[in-house]
Amino acid sequence: MTVRKNQATLTPEEKRAFTSALLELKRNGSYDRFVTTHNGFIMSDTDSGDRVGHRSPSFLPWHRRFLLEFEEALQKVDASVALPYWDWTVDRTSRASLFAADFLGGTGRARDGQVMDGPFAYATGKWNINVRVDGRAYLRRDLGTAVAQLPTKAEVDSVLAMPVYDMAPWNSSSNGFRNHLEGWRGANLHNRVHVWVGGQMSTGVSPNDPVFWMHHAFIDKLWADWQAKHPQSTYLPGAGTQNVVDLNDTMRPWNNVTPADMLDHRKFYTFDTEPAAASQR
C-alpha cells in the first residue's frame, strides 16, 4: 500500500527518487500529457456550463483520480515513489525545505521569474516547458509576491468544520466545504496557494511546476480529513443535476470512474498521519 508522506519528512534518498522519476516522465513525454489534460479542463470548466475538474463538486474526486494516474506513472519508473504532500500551513515561506536546491529549487529570479537552481532549472536541459501559455520555455516562480501569506491552520480548520460537502448552484459561488477548499469563497485555500507560488502555477498549465502535485496531494489529504470529521456527510449532488457530475456519473476524461469510486482514498493509499494499521491494508 502506498503511503503519502509529508514532504518535510522525506529522506535525501526519497527526494532524489521522486525528482528522478519526475525527470524520467518528462524525458519520455508522459509528463506533458498530464499538463495538457489539466489545461484543457481548466479552460473549459465554467460556472454556467458543463464543468468537471474545477468550479464544481467533482473538483476533489477529479483531482484525486488525476493524482492517482500520475502516481501510477511515477511508480512505473520507480515502485518506491509516492506523491508527497506539502503542508503549507507549516512550511510557509520561500525558505521551506521543499524549495531547496536539492529538491524543487527556489523562487525565480527578479527580472523574469526563471527558476535558476535545483533539478528543474532550465539550464539543466531536462525541464523545458513545452505546454505553454506564452513563449517562455523555462519554469517560473515568484514565491509570495502576488499574495503575501499562505493559508493558516486556523483558516483550514474553519473550512474543515463546514458540515455540507457542496450545494446549489454547484459552482464557484457555492457556500459549502468543496468551494471554500477550492478557494472561490471564504479563506481562499487551494487557489491562494497557486497564486502564492506564481509563475506557471498561476495558470492552467500549473502542473508544469512539480510543486503542483504536492499541493494537490495536500488538498486531497484535507478532503480525507474532512471525511473523517463528518462521517455522516457525503459527496453532493446525488443525482439529476445539470452540468455537473453527480455521485454516480462518470467523469471525463476517463469515463470509467465516478465520484463514488473516489470517496475512499484508502483503497489506493494512506497518509502518514493515519493509524499504522490502516497503512498496512
Q: Whole-angstrom Cα distance, residue 153 to residue 25?
A: 33
99 pLDDT higher than 70? yes
CA distance 262 to 245: 13
What is the rounded distance in angstroms from the CA atom of residue 156 to the CA atom of residue 130? Answer: 34
User: What's the rounded mean pLDDT across residues 159-185?
Assistant: 97
Are 56 and 246 spatial neighbours (Cβ–Cβ below 8 Å)?
no
Length of the chain, in residues = 281
Mean pLDDT calculated for residue range 173-199: 97
Q: Return the pLDDT at 125.
A: 97
pLDDT of residue 101: 97
